[in-house]
Structure 1
Amino acid sequence: MRTLLARLRREEKGAAAVEFVLILIPMVMLTLGAINLSLMVYTVATLNYAAEDAARCLSVKKTTCTTASVNTYAQARYTGPGAATFTGTSAACGNRVVGTVDYVFTTGLTSTIIPLSSQACYPLT
């Protein structure tokens, strides 16, 4: 029995496969995390664009855009994942539109909901 254990201790076949498996799991998680982080940055950018465009529409195209229809107008311009909601109000800076969306950040093992928001203000003309 001792000779078997001593022989197994000296054996090095399969060490590369074990090391590969130990490195594979963190690398897959890092790759999925990087992809999700990139998608989250894209979501913030499209949310910001939709809010800016809706605020501009409220100030410039008063017959087309109203505070009641700003959600529909901004959702047509939002192309990110998830369902975003937009609200338009009058503020000291002009017409302000606030957009919010819940982003689901998935790493393969866990999913975390991250609330994202963007606001834009366009002066009255």
Structure 2
Amino acid sequence: MRPRAARRPVGDRCGASAVEFALVAPAFLALTIGSIYMAMLVFAYANLQSTAQEAARCASVRTAVCFDQTSVAAFANGRYRGLGVSPVFTYAIAPCGHRVTASGSLTLISGLPGAGGVSPFTVTACHP
């Protein structure tokens, strides 16, 4: 007599891979796209922070170039190289020194309802 597994037709397992793929693919795709968006957000934030620090240092050290709100904002806008963000730079003299505050937002687009949106962020840099 043959064992039960040997009598099973070969076609019984044909759809198993398709079902596993259908269960795993959406989660894998969402994780991949989420990782890409998170990397974009971290890159934009770090670039905005670096630009604010450069602008605060310019206002402190290079007073011929960065002498008021308009010139500091123009300097910072010329230095910013982030993606998908239109930053707004403000300059003020504070107790900590020359303070530059930058704010912007990154719009996240996804095909999933409720998964997109706008991620606002603000950074501040101060140089004595």
TM-score, L = length of structure 1: 0.84
Instruction: Give the aligned partner of residue 74 of structure 2.
Output: 72
Q: How many residues end up aligned between the 2 structures?
A: 114
Give identity over the alignment, percent.
36
- Structure 2: 5+ residue stretches without partners: 1-10
Instruction: Give the aligned partner of residue 22 of structure 2.
Output: 21
TM-score, L = length of structure 2: 0.82
**2:98 aligned to 78, 85, 95, which one?**
95
Instruction: Give the aligned partner of residue 45 of structure 2.
Output: 44
State whether residues 96 and 120 of structure 1, in contact with CA within 8 Å, keep that contact through their aligned partners in structure 2. yes
Cα distance, 1:21 vs. partner?
Answer: 1.4
Instruction: Give the aligned partner of residue 6 of structure 1.
Output: none
Q: In angstroms, what is the RMSD of aligned CA positions? A: 1.5
Q: Which runs of 4+ in 1 moved over 4 A?
A: none
| 1:19-49, Cα deviation, whole Å (9 max, x unpaired) | 1011101100000001111111111110001
- Structure 1: 5+ residue stretches without partners: 1-9
**1:83 aligned to 83, 86, 99, which one?**
86
Do residues 120 (structure 1) and 125 (structure 2) align? yes
